[in-house]
């Protein structure tokens, strides 16, 4: 275990922050991250294209929901308790797809058994994928989105000054190092000769960093950024679960990357509420690049065509019952797309996701069971 953890690249932290948005966040220092020969620098510098628009007088979440606050979604009650704010930054509402991805990977391995040890391993893998590494991803994304959030949602914890810069930076590091530590522990527990879970966690963490942070900031490009997000939510936890209990094979890697195109569509759903800020900050999300009407159809097309293609693959692989089960789960998703999302993607985004996404993640499990070696 010690030798494995010693293989983690050296990480150096210097913390500085310069945020013109709130006087309570005036002190400043860059967050530096040295990885071997590569130097990745997380800096709270001014964006190349700083928004000239005045922050609109948008209603803060006065009288908002405590449940929404703890889940990290819009309509949240403004909170002063630091621990509740910390949880809000990790957006627990985004954890279930990652946790479910681990379940799918374990099922696809064909080697998961309902023994206390296997259940315990899966729970630790879920903690790594959900609260720790997804929490890290969401916190670092909010950190780099603070100028955009000051336009779209000025009452969010960071732009409102409800949590200090140093507290945010500390949270980022605790969640990142905690997640990587759990990944290394799982490799030792599983008896891996090669620490595959650790490297999957490290690769996913780097992907999260370049998704949010300049200079690459993948989210500036709607296609690349949303696919990276989709792969993080569908492929990576599946790979971790399957590698933990079995062998990660090339055909599964290709299949899950294909499924990640549906994840791209899911990621587009969240772009509609940020059009104003994205446009002001020069981010080319698909609703900004193509307009809301075209982006709506790109979104549902990516979700539906991907799943239909996977059903076709399962049918061709001699798994007709699984293929028809997956097609049956696509039908309610299409229904809710017309009922909610295509009518008004901003007004009904939460209703749409709550209604349709359970069927999508059930389809993931159907696919995992179909590919199981048993």
Q: What is the pLDDT of residues 77-131, one digit of tens each?
A: 888 899 999 999 999 988 998 999 999 999 999 999 999 999 999 999 999 999 9
Q: Specify the pLDDT at position 58.
A: 47
Q: Specify the pLDDT at position 212.
A: 93
Dist. CA 204–CA 122, nearest whole Å: 18
Asked if 369 contacts 107 with a C-beta cutoff of 8 angstroms, the reply is yes
Q: Specify the pLDDT at position 62.
A: 54
Is pLDDT above 50 for 27? no
Tokens of 72: 């990290």
Per-residue pLDDT of 311-344, as tens digits, reads 999 999 999 999 999 999 999 999 999 999 999 9
252/48: higher pLDDT: 252
How many C-beta neighbours within 10 Å does residue 281 have? Answer: 21
Specify whether the backbone of 71 is left (phi greater than 0), alpha (psi in -120 to 50) or beta: alpha
Domain ranges of the chain: 67-246, 249-373
Q: Specify the pLDDT at position 26.
A: 35
Sign of CA dihedral 357, 362, 365, 371: negative
CA dihedral in degrees (89, 44, 153, 233; nearest 10)? Answer: -50
Q: Specify the pLDDT at position 104.
A: 96
Asked if 349 contacts 75 with a C-beta cutoff of 8 angstroms, the reply is no
Dist. CA 121–CA 127, nearest whole Å: 10
Is pLDDT above 70 for 53? no
Q: Specify the pLDDT at position 41.
A: 40
- As its CATH architecture, domain 249-373 has Up-down Bundle (1.20)
Is pLDDT above 70 for 155? yes
Omega before 215 cis (within 30°)? yes
Confidence of residue 25 (pLDDT cuts 50, 70, 90): very low
Percentage of residues of the chain with pLDDT beyond 70: 83
Q: Specify the pLDDT at position 106.
A: 96
Q: Specify the pLDDT at position 270.
A: 84
Q: Specify the pLDDT at position 283.
A: 79
Most confident of 25-34, 60-69, 132-141: 132-141
- Residue that the structure tokens 């709607």 belong to: 222
Contacts of 111 by beta carbon, 8 Å cutoff, 6+ apart: 245, 246
Q: From residue 166, how far is each of 39, 186, 246 by CA, in Å?
A: 21, 30, 41
Specify whether the backbone of 299 is left (phi greater than 0), alpha (psi in -120 to 50) or beta: alpha
Per-residue pLDDT of 255-293, as tens digits, reads 999 999 999 999 899 889 888 888 887 778 899 999 999
Per-residue pLDDT of 212-229, as tens digits, reads 999 999 988 889 999 998
Q: Specify the pLDDT at position 36.
A: 39
Percentage of residues of the chain with pLDDT beyond 90: 64
Q: Specify the pLDDT at position 101.
A: 95
Is pLDDT above 80 for 373? no
Confidence of residue 184 (pLDDT cuts 50, 70, 90): very high
- What is the CATH superfamily name and number for domain 67-246? UbiA prenyltransferase (1.10.357.140)
Contacts of 123 by beta carbon, 8 Å cutoff, 6+ apart: none
């Amino acid at each position: 275990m010690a030798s494995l953890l010693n293989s983690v690249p050296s990480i150096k932290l210097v913390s500085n922050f310069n945020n013109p948005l709130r006087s309570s966040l005036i002190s400043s220092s860059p967050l530096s991250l040295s990885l071997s020969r590569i130097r990745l620098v997380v800096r709270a510098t001014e964006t190349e294209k700083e928004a000239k628009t005045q922050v609109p007088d948008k209603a803060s979440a006065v009288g908002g929901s405590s449940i929404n606050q703890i889940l990290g979604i819009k309509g949240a009650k403004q909170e002063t308790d630091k621990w509740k704010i910390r949880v809000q930054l990790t957006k627990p509402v985004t954890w279930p797809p990652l946790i479910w991805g681990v379940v799918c990977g374990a099922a696809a391995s064909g080697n998961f058994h309902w023994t206390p040890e296997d259940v315990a391993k899966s729970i630790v893998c879920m903690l790594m994928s959900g609260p720790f590494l997804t929490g890290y991803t969401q916190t670092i994304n909010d950190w780099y989105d603070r100028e955009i959030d000051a336009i779209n949602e000025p009452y969010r914890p960071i732009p409102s000054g409800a949590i200090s810069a140093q507290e945010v930076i500390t949270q980022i590091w605790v969640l990142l190092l905690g997640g990587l530590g759990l990944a290394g522990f799982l490799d030792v527990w599983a008896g891996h000769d090669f620490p595959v879970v650790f490297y999957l966690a490290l690769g996913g963490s780097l992907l999260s960093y370049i998704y949010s942070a300049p200079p690459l900031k993948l989210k500036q490009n709607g296609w690349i950024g949303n696919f990276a997000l989709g792969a993080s939510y569908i492929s990576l936890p599946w790979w971790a679960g399957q590698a933990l209990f079995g062998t990660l094979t090339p055909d599964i890697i290709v299949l899950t990357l294909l499924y990640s195109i549906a994840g791209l569509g899911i990621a587009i759903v969240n772009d509609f509420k940020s059009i104003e800020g994205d446009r002001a900050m020069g981010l080319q999300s698909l609703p900004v690049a193509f307009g809301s009407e075209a982006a709506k159809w790109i979104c549902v097309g990516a979700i539906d065509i991907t799943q239909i293609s996977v059903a076709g693959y399962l049918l061709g692989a001699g798994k007709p019952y699984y293929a028809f089960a997956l097609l049956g789960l696509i039908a309610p998703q299409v229904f809710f797309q017309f009922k909610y999302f295509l009518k008004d993607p901003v007004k009904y985004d939460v209703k749409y996701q709550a209604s349709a996404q359970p069927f999508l993640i059930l389809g993931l499990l159907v696919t995992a069971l179909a590919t199981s070696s048993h």
